[in-house]
Structure 1
Amino acid sequence: MARSDPQVNIRMPQELKDRLEAATTETNRSLNGEILERLERSFDAPTVEIGEASLDAIEARLRHALKHK
């Protein structure tokens, strides 16, 4: 990343920052690099719209499956 790239200052909960910092040791990235990678992936990930009825059906199936385990 070039020094000419714009900077963005954001606020985030300390817990989230701690989680991001922990991830940097696993991925060997800087905090900035980790945040950028995760943002990029969020745009590449497919989005799925689920309606209320679908959620209710999923919940019913899960309850049934857990009950008959």
Structure 2
Amino acid sequence: MSRTDSHFNLRLPKELKVKLTAAARENDRSTTTEAIARLGETFARQDIVEAKAARDALVVELSNALQAGLSAAEDLGEVRNALQEAQRVSDAKLASLRPTKENEPKQ
């Protein structure tokens, strides 16, 4: 890190400092680099949790939209069936009103 980076003093409980120093030695890092890496991992995990929550909310929203679309499609199917039935009834009524050869006036 360059000296132009912002610096601040951080007081740690002794137990945490001992753990951090030991982890830094194990990972062949400075204590500062170890602290930065661990903080970065924590924020990355938080970002992943938030992204998963957003994804889950989107899945629920899409599922609801799909269900609404399926319901609308079923409703349209019912409307289509009703229109077809109305057309059959109308055709039958029209057919009954048309003169047949038997009912045609003879000339």
- Specify the code of the residue in structure 1 equivalent to 2:29: R
CA–CA distance in structure 2, aligned partners of residues 8 and 47 of structure 1: 29
Secondary structure of residue in 1 paired with 2:49: coil
TM-score (ref. length: structure 2): 0.42
The RMSD of aligned alpha carbons is 1.3
Which runs of 4 or more aligned residues in structure 1 lie more than 2 Å from their structure 2 counterparts after TM superposition?
none
Structure 1 partner of 2:43: 43
Number of aligned positions between the proteins: 48
**Which has the bigger relative contact order, CA under 8 A and spacing at least 6?**
1
- Give the equivalent residue in structure 2 for 1:6: 6
Name the CA distance, whole Å, in 2 between partners of 1:44 and 1:38. Answer: 10
Structure 2 gap ranges (5+): 51-107
Q: Distance in 2 between matches of 1:33 and 1:9?
A: 15
Give the TM-score normalised by structure 1. 0.63
Larger radius of gyration: 2
Give the C-alpha shift of residue 24 in structure 1.
1.1
Structure 1: runs of 5 or more not aligned: 49-69
SS of structure 2 residue aligned to 1:47: helix
The whole-number CA distance in structure 2 between the counterparts of 1:29 and 1:35 is 10
1:57 aligns with: none
C-alpha deviation, 1:7, in angstroms: 0.5
Shift of residue 47, structure 1, vs aligned partner: 3.3
